[in-house]
Amino acid sequence: MRTTMRTPLKALRAGLLALGLTALAAPAASAASPSASPSPSASASAGPVTTAGTTFLTAATLAPGQDATVAASTGDYLYWAFAASEGQTDTVQVNVTLPPSADRTGPQTWSVELFDGLRRRQSCTAGPQNATAQQSAASVGLSCTLRQIRSWAEPWSGDPLPGTYYVRLSVGDVPQPDLGLAAQVQVHITAKGGADDAQPEGGSLKAPLVPPVNAGSTAAPGAAATGSAAPNAAASRAAAPAEPESHWYSDVFSGWNTRWFWTIAGGALAALAGVAGYTLTRHPRGRRPAGPVPAQRQPHAPQPDPYRS
């Protein structure tokens, strides 16, 4: 009887022990699984961006290989931002689906421009940067290939350096009645090359050209995990404002009493200047010597005219 009872107890104890080991190993296996963290390939396959900024500060963030599809209005300025690293050659392709030809009254000229982190306009090496669509055209295509990103450049040169770059799409020549018509814009950014192709040798940039601003959260939540070469964390932070210098007279010449202090001091200086000017101009310097007053000469009596009868 004892042997019969011990056998179920041993089986139950072994089952509980195996269940506990399985529960402990499950979190470790899930943490070690590659599917637990987003991979670059998964982030690169993110959906297209459906927003666009209207200024440099509100530019929507794009990654190389990611598309942007935006419903825009004819005449608006549209901005996107992307990160570029040394050795890369980036190409921006834009396709604008124009409003119906029946609603338009004339041709439209569209332009795409690229700016670096210092908002300097960069030249394009290939592609139609400006294109004119006739009234009967249904769409217009634009393209701009940026020069190769350099790891180092002379201070006087305008070579593209690693950092943030802006894409601006605008319509430059359009009839006045066509402003405000709905249009569809598609933007695609591609990048080729890498750090091995960076030129010239012998120099390096201390930090990527990233604007020290933090205007809003226009970037997607997973933009930092994309496969693009984003700037390092030190460069992506906003630059801290410089602390003002403090002197012994800083408290005297600051605050609510600044206006009163300068008013009183200016009035006192004006009064002293007036007294000094009056003293110098109206009162001669020194004293006259004391002494008798010399006698004044008596005037002569008029003499008769001998020729007058």
Which pLDDT value is given to residue 3?
Answer: 43
Beta bridge partners, 185, equal: 70, 96
Examine residue 211 and state whether it is found in any structural domain, yes or no: yes
Question: How far is the C-alpha of 233 from the C-alpha of 213, rounded, in Å?
Answer: 14
- Tell me the pLDDT tens digit for each residue of 97-117: 999 988 899 999 999 999 988
Question: Residue 32 and residue 42: Cα distance in Å, rounded?
Answer: 17
Share of the chain above pLDDT 70, in %: 62
> Number of folded domains in the chain?
1
pLDDT (tens digit, 9 = 90+) per residue, 14-54?
555 554 544 444 433 333 333 333 333 333 446 778 899 99
pLDDT at 225: 39
Residue 17 within a domain:
no
Domain range spanning residue 181? 54-224
pLDDT in tens, 223-239: 443 444 444 443 344 44
Tally Cβ neighbours within 10 Å of residue 119: 11
- Residue 153 near residue 72 (C-beta atoms within 8 A): no
Question: What gap in Å lies between CA 299 and CA 101, rounded to an integer?
Answer: 112
Characterize 196-211 residue by residue with b for buried, 16 or more Cβ atoms within 10 angstroms of its Cβ, and e for exposed. eebeeeeeebeebbbb
Domain membership flag for residue 37: no
| pLDDT for position 227 | 40
Within a domain: 189? yes
**Residue 157 identity:** S
Amino acid at the residue 125: T
Residue 262 lies inside a defined structural domain of this protein: no
Q: Kindly state whether residue 239 falls inside one of the protein's structural domains.
A: no
Q: Nearest CA to 187 among 60, 88, 40, 76?
A: 60
Domain membership flag for residue 286: no
Round to whole Å and give the CA distance between 50 and 173.
Answer: 25
User: Is 173 within the bounds of a domain?
Assistant: yes
CATH number at residue 212: 2.60.120.380
User: Could you tell me if 150 and 86 are in contact, meaning their C-beta atoms sit under 8 angstroms apart?
Assistant: yes
Residue 251 has pLDDT above 50, yes or no: yes
